[in-house]
Amino acid sequence: MVSDLKDLNTPSGDRIDRLVAAHRPGHGLARPFYHDQDIYERDLERVFRRHWHCIAHESVIPNANDFEVFRMADEQVILTRHADGSIHALLNVCRHRGAEVCTKDKGNARVFVCPYHAWTYSNDGALRAARLMPKEFRREDHGLKKLHVRVVEGLVFVSFAKVPLDFAEVEHLLHATCGQYGWGNAKVAHRESYAVSANWKLAVENYVECYHCGPAHPEYSQTHALEQPLHMIEAMNEAMEERTCALGIEVGSGNHWQTSEGGKEAIHAFRYALYDGVKSGSEDGAAVAPLMGRFTDFDGGVTSIHLGGTTFLVCYPDHGMIYRFIPKTAETCEMELIWLVDGNAEAGRDYDLDRLTWLWKVTTDEDKAIIEHTARGVRSHYFEPGPIAPMEHNELRYIDWYLDEISRA
């Protein structure tokens, strides 16, 4: 068993590199990766601040001058829609003394006035006024710091990196997947946040594998064939693709899961079948909302997208899911679920909110419990990671990808 970082008497960076080098291929991560503060800080530096994150669907700020504040790790991001319709992501940090310039979680405002010394910023980040500053002071040099923003099929992505990873492959694949499901014309039906007492990687590792689906998610497993090994559902997947083609739709797929070494963002989109007679992700497999995008009927399938390490998307013909994983501390994180429906659908008329959200609420409640059970277990000084099972191939890929990312300065 590899010892904890505190037992390796070398400088902090070397200690982490030595732990990475000691990782046993084909096995899970060692104990320190889930609680050590030095590793968490490196996670933020080399994963969180390097990759793109989906923070919202643009429908959460539908009108000119709408804004909402998003909290991610130690950062606060103000997502705004300027009067010209453009979307901006601003760091909520005054350029004078660092106070939060936006003190409300959401609203409508053309300007943000710092409550400390009244520096005033427009909602595109430009500094409008800085009272009693000397004549040589240049307002244009002191606007709010901005994140890189991309909006694709209604999804808003941000990057904290000085030079962001190339987004072209991601954009192309999102058009070929979410675009077919009409996400660009969708709206948010519901959002639910789950505080999880576990390191963020435990939450992501749980999401990307379905080895646990059979024993842990009986509700999901009644309708989704992914709870079986891939070789056992090949015929079902082929039949699903035939149904999709018969509708005149070609939903894209592609594996561009790659490290940042080549300067490109990672994305993997794949499709799998629902069981016979199941139309959508719901309690009974029946439809829960009006069809979206190019779909004129149900194809009995699901499109799943893994993106950038913290963003995961699920597409059904009648609704969609955004799954966000947000680091909070070395031993806590947050999972946010966002349900999407057609932009013209009305709650109570076109869909029932309880029916729409039932399956993934149940599944996520179960996931939260499982993840926290695991977090308590891996705190044990006697924990030793075991071998990754064949059905955990995506988890194994994620672990290898993560180790490569934190090894690269």
Amino acid at 53: H
C-alpha closest to that of 340 among 191, 178, 186, 177: 186
Mean pLDDT within 287-310: 98
5: pLDDT strictly greater than 70:
no
Give pLDDT tens digits for 366-397.
999 999 999 999 999 999 999 999 999 999 99
State the average pLDDT for the chain: 96
245: pLDDT strictly greater than 70:
yes
Tokens of 111: 């300007």
Strands (E), 96-220: 106-108, 111-113, 120-122, 127-129, 148-152, 155-159, 186-196
Give pLDDT tens digits for 23-37.
999 999 999 999 999
Q: How far apart are CA 281 and CA 274, in angstroms?
A: 9
Provide CB contacts within 8 A for 380, sequence distance 6+: 31
Q: Chain-centre distance of CA 162, in angstroms? A: 20
Q: How far apart are CA 342 and CA 103, in angstroms?
A: 32
Residues 287, 288, 293, 299: what is their CA dihedral angle, to the nearest 10 degrees? -20
Mean pLDDT within 191-216: 98
Predicted local confidence at residue 293, as pLDDT: 98
Mean pLDDT within 344-359: 98
Predicted local confidence at residue 1, as pLDDT: 35
Stated as kind and residue range, the H or E segment containing 40 is helix 37-43
9: pLDDT strictly greater than 50:
no
Reported confidence tier of residue 237, pLDDT bands at 50, 70, 90: very high
Task: Judge contact between 54 and 324, C-beta under 8 A.
Answer: yes
168: pLDDT strictly greater than 80:
yes
> What stretches of 35-112 show up as alpha helix (H) in DSSP?
37-43
Task: Judge contact between 291 and 185, C-beta under 8 A.
Answer: no
Predicted local confidence at residue 12, as pLDDT: 56
267: pLDDT strictly greater than 90:
yes
Task: Judge contact between 102 and 78, C-beta under 8 A.
Answer: yes
Task: Judge contact between 297 and 247, C-beta under 8 A.
Answer: yes
8: pLDDT strictly greater than 90:
no
Report which DSSP code applies to 143: P
Provide CB contacts within 8 A for 305, sequence distance 6+: 173, 174, 177, 178, 267, 268, 269, 312, 313, 314, 315
Predicted local confidence at residue 14, as pLDDT: 87
2: pLDDT strictly greater than 60:
no
Q: How far apart are CA 250 and CA 186, in angstroms?
A: 19
Tokens of 57: 């669907």
85: left (phi over 0), alpha (psi -120 to 50) or beta: left
Q: Chain-centre distance of CA 312, in angstroms? A: 5
Task: Judge contact between 94 and 114, C-beta under 8 A.
Answer: yes
- Burial (CB < 10 A; 0-12, 13-18, 19+), residue 9, is exposed
Give pLDDT tens digits for 85-117.
999 999 999 999 999 999 999 999 999 999 999
| Cα distance between the two ends of the chain | 26
Phi, psi of 320 (to 5 degrees): -135, 165
